[in-house]
């Protein structure tokens, strides 16, 4: 399995609080991604990174920001969590044109 970890694995928080999810890889892959998965929607891309300090928006980026200060770490921040952001969040990594490999996911509940 690809060396990808996510932390925390589970989190319960309250509306309006900031939340940061971390993705860490040991594969030295250039590309990193954040997805959310919800029933009826499948996996949707939030943000992705194509290098250190290089990021771009995905399909559902509103309410989320990201940062990548090192090759191995990609952070996803919910500045002010809302109930609509309750979801399962997956991080993924890849090289160009290659398959993506996923982390174990973070289950976030916003009350």
Partner 1 sequence: RKEVEQDPGPFNVPEGATVAFNCTYSNSASQSFFWYRQDCRKEPKLLMSVYSSGNEDGRFTAQLNRASQYISLLIRDSKLSDSATYLCVVNHNSGYSTLTFGKGTMLLVSP
Please give the residue ranges that form the binding site for partner 1 (CB under 8 A). Answer: 31, 33, 40-45, 48, 50, 56, 58, 90, 94-105
Pick the closest to residue 55 from 83, 82, 27, 75 (CA basis).
75
Q: CB 80 → partner 1: shortest distance, Å?
A: 27
DSSP-derived 3-state class of residue 83: helix
* C-beta closer to partner 1: residue 40 or 62: 40
Cis before 8 (ω within 30): yes
* C-beta closer to partner 1: residue 42 or 62: 42
Q: CB 88 → partner 1: shortest distance, Å?
A: 8
* C-beta closer to partner 1: residue 32 or 81: 32
Q: CB 75 → partner 1: shortest distance, Å?
A: 19
For the chain, how big is the Rg over CA atoms in Å?
A: 13
CA distances from 28 to 2, 11, 71, 104 (A): 11, 27, 7, 18
* C-beta closer to partner 1: residue 59 or 79: 59
Q: CB 104 → partner 1: shortest distance, Å?
A: 5
Half-sphere exposure of 31 (CA within 13 A, CB side): 15
């Amino acid at each position: 399995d690809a060396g990808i970890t996510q932390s925390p694995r589970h989190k319960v928080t309250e509306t309006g609080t900031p939340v940061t999810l971390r993705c860490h890889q040991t594969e030295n892959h250039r590309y990193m991604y954040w997805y959310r998965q919800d029933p009826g929607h499948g996996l949707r891309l939030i943000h992705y990174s194509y290098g250190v300090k290089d990021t771009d928006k995905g399909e559902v980026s509103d309410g989320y920001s990201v940062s990548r200060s090192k090759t191995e770490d990609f952070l996803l921040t919910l500045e002010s969590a809302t109930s609509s952001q309750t979801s399962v969040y997956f991080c993924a990594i890849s090289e160009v044109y290659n398959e993506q490999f996923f982390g174990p996911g973070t289950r976030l509940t916003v009350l």
